[in-house]
Amino acid sequence: MSEVTLHIDGPIATLTLENEAKYNALTTAMLRDLTAHCDTLEASSVRAVVLTGAGPKAFCTGADIIEWAQLSPRDFARHWVRLGHRVFDRIARLPMPMIGALNGHAMGGGLELAACCDLRVMTPRATLALPETGVGIVPGWSGTQRLARQIPPAILKEMALLGRRISSDRALAMGIVNAVAEDARAEAQTMAAEIAARAPEATEVGKTLIAAAYDEDTDAALEALGGWIQAGSPEKAEGVAAFAEKRSPDFGDKT
């Protein structure tokens, strides 16, 4: 059974990390499952995605230490870190908005995963943390990069250098999360329904433009938007028709 499940209900999808016995710690298999589910979502008509973890205690406590601890420094850097980056970048760049339902603690890679979401809801008892220096490593799945665009520098350094946890109240006050709710999943579903009721193409373009403003895949975003405009233009229709008919295209008055 997959340790990451995808459930699609009309315009709303729910991605759930199903590794509750290990507080939803991420394994290589789970990262590959997330990639496969991204393929499914990109080919679907889903308008919003809720990302959550199984059980009441943890959204995700990061990467499975048992899996990465035995890797050589070279393999750790070349495979483990880069794999996580590829998967998390893919999640962040999904065309539809994603809401993180932080049903429990989000630590290390779990917080880095939550940072890939467009909106976040947190339960009152959940905390956010970057505990990596306590086990002799540093954040490796964008904790020093993507999170730096979302969390004030002094707070990010407090988390990464001191290992201190951030409470839900403090996270809300700093704008790291959008809401605190006893039932984070239900609140996230409500947000997803609100998004699904709005114009889907405008929502996708809006997400892309905002992401580009924060240097999230800016080059591809600009070219994708330009391609979107031209793909629906009379020029494209004439150019393709001319190619098929083996003639020169007529793009109208060139003066």
Residues with catalytic roles? 112, 132
**Cβ 4 vs Cβ 15: under 8 Å:** yes
* DSSP-derived secondary structure for 75-107: HIIIIIIHHHHHHHHHHHT-SS-EEEEE-SEEE
- To 10 degrees, what angle do helices 200-213 and 218-231 make? 150
- Short-list 63, 47, 43, CA closest to 140: 63
What is the token pair recorded at 34? 């997330």
- Short-list 141, 3, 32, 10, CA closest to 85: 141
Please name the residues in contact with 241: beta carbons below 8 A apart, sequence gap of 6 or more: 249
Torsion-angle region of 217 (φ positive above 0: left; ψ -120 to 50: alpha; else: beta) = left
What is the token pair recorded at 173? 């006050």
* DSSP-derived secondary structure for 151-179: S-HHHHHHHHHH---EEHHHHHHTTSSSE
* 6 bridge partner residues: 15
- Short-list 24, 53, 169, 187, CA closest to 121: 187
